[in-house]
């Protein structure tokens, strides 16, 4: 066997074209497309239902294509005075943008410091961070809520940002990247008289473009879709973020399936479009970081 | 920092000072901020030994003591041996959480690993399109996922029952049927497991694809030339080589399924008959609906220990100490 292997020229094609190979390919595409349809169909159903009337979605058996294609549901949502959609988009955007900006700043700064500076207690501090990373939210949720209550920040969007300024995971990731940057870069700048903050701002940050973009997009998605913590903090309707508004809308419009589906489309679609634009960064980011 | 003396001494010490100043100006606010974290953690820890409700006035420090009395380990004793309503509900929730996680992990792997392998084996032309579409549910808000699946599960007009009727079966009230289904797990539980899997599989697929791309082609090809078939090459070469990824995927999937909340809260809110009540939901309800925060803190601690134990066990089993 071994001798046989050695005498085989490396350039020889693996297998000649044949029916078994063709069948294998066909089967692979078949299974993948089956999985693909299973993934896509719920989205298709959602979009199609949103263009039906509320009576049509109740029909048994269900219709696939809308019988009377209507924009009524969307118009109803846009004209509902109880549902100032723009305001809710604004709430979600505020929380996401604020949290992402602050974590990008702190992660890059602290990650850079851990990677390139020596100071007493560095290892202990970093170990502490790693430990904090392991502590799940359900442990800290209750005291965090009590603190917000004491500070009077329940029902305030600021309550959603105050505990999110530092992200241990982001720091960890940025440290990994900063370690790959050459020290000569910083030394040269120091000789030229640059201050430490200037070095961070002018030299480190531009080098971190790619990982920052990844971290930023992922953080944005995470904040945009967050549900449990915003639900605890935001109890009044006006201050709520989109996912909580969606459940509230669902519970106040029972039996109006088409309307609820239209609201769902409006709330989940923006993020999917963002994904299609940035998908290279995002897929890369997920695999690079294992962040969820 | 001791440096050899030379002509640049003054300048160097200036650099050292500015570096120190930089480090101090970053670490000091950070330490302050992180001590808030420690405070929160300490509070969570103390809370589980009290019968605490924020509505009662209580003692001077953090409202503990007084009408929020210290109960020692009584919360934990109650949880595992008491027969009050909340203790029974806790044990049901713990059981449901374990059922959920134990069902999700193998099903997830059974979907993601073969699909990732197939996707990696076909040409590059469609790969990124397929990957993009498989990934869409991961980015969808869980509330959206829950509502979409609720409309699919609708007992009257839902698509799933329409398909069942088309094949002559009897329609099922998916989200409100407490009867035991496959493997003695309630039908409602299976319904939420499927919705959760649908949202989640794209994530592990993308990670597996990246890992498979990292496996050197020569190893697999050598095995094929040696007469192994593709199945053998997969199980004997590829699978052992992606073992670190396997560990990562198993740990992350277990972690998130033990902490499942969103999809279940929206779809069933724990019903029917608490058949889908999972721990996070129970903690949320105890703490914020019944204001029973000492109890909820104790429950969170148990969940934390369970998750920690499972993670350590997985790391033991799947650890590797070699590289390629």
Going by C-alpha positions, the residue among B197, B238, B209 that lies closest to residue B130 is B209
Return contacts of B111-114, CB within 8 angstroms, 24+ apart: B111/A35, B111/B197, B111/B201, B112/B201, B112/B204, B112/B205, B112/B208, B112/B249, B113/B208, B114/A31
Q: How confident is the model at residue A253 (pLDDT cuts 50, 70, 90)?
A: confident
Convert A143-162 to b/e letters by CB count within 10 Å (16 or more is b): bbbbbbeeeebbebbebbbe
pLDDT at position A256 is: 86
Suggest the residue from A120, A141, A153 to mutate for an interface test with chain B (most B CBs closer than 10 A). Answer: A141
pLDDT above 50 for A123:
yes
Nearest-by-Cβ selection for A227 from B142, B148, B158: B142
> What pLDDT score was predicted for residue A10?
47
User: Does residue B256 share a domain with residue B134?
Assistant: yes
Give the ipTM of the model, two decimals please.
0.86
Which tens digits make up the pLDDT trace of A2-51? 444 444 444 444 555 577 778 888 888 899 999 999 999 999 999 999 99
Query: Between residues B184 and A73, which one has the greater pLDDT?
Result: A73
For chain B, percent helix, then strand, then coil, each to nearest 5?
A: 70, 0, 30
| Pair A164, A157: CB distance under 8 Å | no
- B15 against A219, higher pLDDT: A219
The closest of B5, B9, B84, B195 to A42, measured between CA atoms, is B195
CA quadruple A274, A280, A283, A286: dihedral sign: negative
What does CATH list as the number for A85-289?
Answer: 1.10.3720.10
Total domains present in chain B: 3
Residues B107 and B22 in one domain: no
> Which residues on A lie below 8 Å from B151 (Cβ)?
45-46, 49, 57, 257, 260-261
User: Quick check: helix, strand or coil at residue A210?
Assistant: helix
Sign for the pseudo-dihedral over CA of B91, B93, B96, B101? negative
Domain stops at, among B29, B62, B82: B82
Structural domain for B19, as ranges: 1-40
Residues B5, B66: one domain? no
pLDDT at A69 over 60: yes
Among B75, B97, B143, the residue to mutate for chain A (most A Cβ within 10 A)? B143
| CB-count exposure of residue A245 (10 Å: 0-12, 13-18, 19+) | buried
Tokens coding A144: 């965090």
Contact flag A57-B158 (C-beta cutoff 8 Å): no
B205 within a domain of the structure (yes/no) = yes
Question: CA-based Rg of chain A, rounded to a whole angstrom?
Answer: 26
Q: Which of B39, B226, B280 is the closest to A138 by Cβ?
A: B280
- Please write the tens of the pLDDT for every residue from A147-161: 999 899 999 999 898
The pLDDT of residue A223 is above 80 = yes
The whole-number pLDDT of residue B189 equals: 94
pLDDT bin (cut points 50, 70, 90) of residue A292 is very low
B88 and B228 co-located in one domain = yes
Whether B268 and B122 share a structural domain: yes
User: Which residues make Cβ contacts (< 8 Å) with residue A191, sequence separation at least 6?
Assistant: none
> Domain locations in chain A?
25-70, 85-289
- Which residue stretches of chain B have pLDDT < 50? 1-3
Q: Look up residue B180 and give its DSSP letter.
A: B
Q: Evaluate whether residue B324 is within a structural domain.
A: no
CB under 8 Å to B149, separation ≥6 — which residues? A42, B191, B194, B195, B198, B263, B267
Average pLDDT over chain A, rounded to an integer = 85
């Amino acid at each position: 066997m071994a001798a046989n292997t050695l005498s085989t020229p490396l350039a020889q094609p693996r297998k000649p074209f044949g029916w078994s190979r063709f069948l294998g390919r066909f089967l692979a595409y078949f299974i993948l497309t089956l999985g693909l349809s299973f993934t896509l169909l719920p989205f298709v159903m959602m979009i199609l239902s949103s263009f039906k009337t509320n009576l049509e979605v109740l029909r048994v058996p269900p219709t696939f294509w809308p019988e009377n294609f209507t924009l009524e549901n969307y118009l109803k949502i846009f004209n509902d005075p109880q549902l100032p959609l723009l305001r809710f988009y604004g709430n979600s955007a505020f929380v996401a943008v604020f949290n992402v900006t602050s974590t990008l700043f702190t992660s890059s700064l602290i990650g850079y410091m851990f990677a390139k500076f020596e100071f007493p207690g560095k290892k202990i501090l970093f170990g502490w961070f790693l430990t904090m990373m392991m502590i799940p939210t359900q442990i800290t949720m209750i005291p965090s809520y009590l603190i917000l209550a004491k500070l009077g920040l329940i029902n305030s969007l600021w309550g959603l940002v105050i505990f999110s300024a530092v992200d241990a995971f982001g720091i960890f990731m940025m440290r990994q990247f900063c370690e790959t940057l050459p020290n000569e870069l910083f030394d040269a700048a120091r000789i030229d008289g640059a201050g430490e903050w200037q070095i961070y701002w002018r030299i480190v940050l531009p080098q971190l473009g790619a990982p920052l973009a990844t971290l930023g997009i992922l953080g944005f998605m995470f904040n945009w879709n967050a549900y449990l913590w915003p639900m605890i903090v935001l109890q009044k309707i006006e201050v709520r973020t989109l996912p909580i508004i969606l459940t509230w809308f669902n519970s106040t419009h029972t039996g109006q399936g088409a309307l609820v589906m239209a609201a769902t489309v409006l709330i989940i679609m923006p993020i999917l479009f963002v994904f299609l634009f940035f998908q290279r960064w995002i897929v890369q980011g997920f695999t690079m970081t294992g962040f969820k | 920092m001791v440096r050899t003396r030379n002509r640049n001494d003054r300048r160097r010490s200036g650099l050292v000072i500015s570096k120190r100043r930089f480090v101090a100006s970053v670490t000091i606010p950070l330490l302050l901020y992180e001590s808030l974290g420690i405070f929160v953690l300490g509070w969570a820890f103390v809370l589980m030994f009290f019968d605490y409700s924020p509505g009662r006035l209580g003692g001077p420090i953090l409202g503990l003591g007084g009408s929020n009395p210290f109960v020692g380990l009584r919360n934990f004793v109650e949880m595992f041996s008491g027969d009050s309503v909340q203790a029974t509900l806790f044990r049901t929730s713990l059981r449901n959480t374990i059922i959920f996680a134990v069902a999700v992990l193998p099903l997830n792997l059974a979907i993601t690993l073969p699909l990732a392998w197939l996707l990696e084996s076909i040409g590059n032309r469609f790969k990124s399109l397929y990957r993009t579409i498989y990934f869409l549910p991961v980015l969808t808000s869980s509330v959206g996922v829950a509502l979409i699946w609720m409309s699919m599960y609708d007992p009257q007009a839902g698509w799933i029952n329409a398909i069942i009727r088309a094949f002559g079966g009897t329609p099922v009230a998916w989200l409100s049927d407490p009867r035991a289904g496959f493997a003695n797990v309630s039908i409602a539980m299976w319904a939420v497991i499927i919705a959760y899997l649908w949202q989640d599989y794209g994530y592990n697929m993308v990670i597996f694809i990246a890992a498979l791309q990292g496996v050197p082609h020569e190893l697999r090809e050598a095995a094929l030339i040696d007469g192994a078939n593709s199945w053998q090459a997969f199980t004997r070469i590829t699978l052992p080589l992606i073992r670190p990824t396997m560990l990562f995927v198993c740990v992350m999937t277990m972690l998130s399924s033990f902490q499942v909340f969103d999809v279940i809260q929206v779809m069933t809110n724990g019903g029917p008959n608490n058949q889908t009540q999972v721990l996070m939901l129970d903690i949320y309800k105890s703490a914020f609906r019944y204001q029973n925060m000492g109890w909820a803190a104790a429950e969170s601690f148990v969940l934390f220990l369970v998750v920690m134990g499972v993670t350590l066990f997985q790391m033991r089993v799947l650890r590797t100490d070699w590289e390629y």
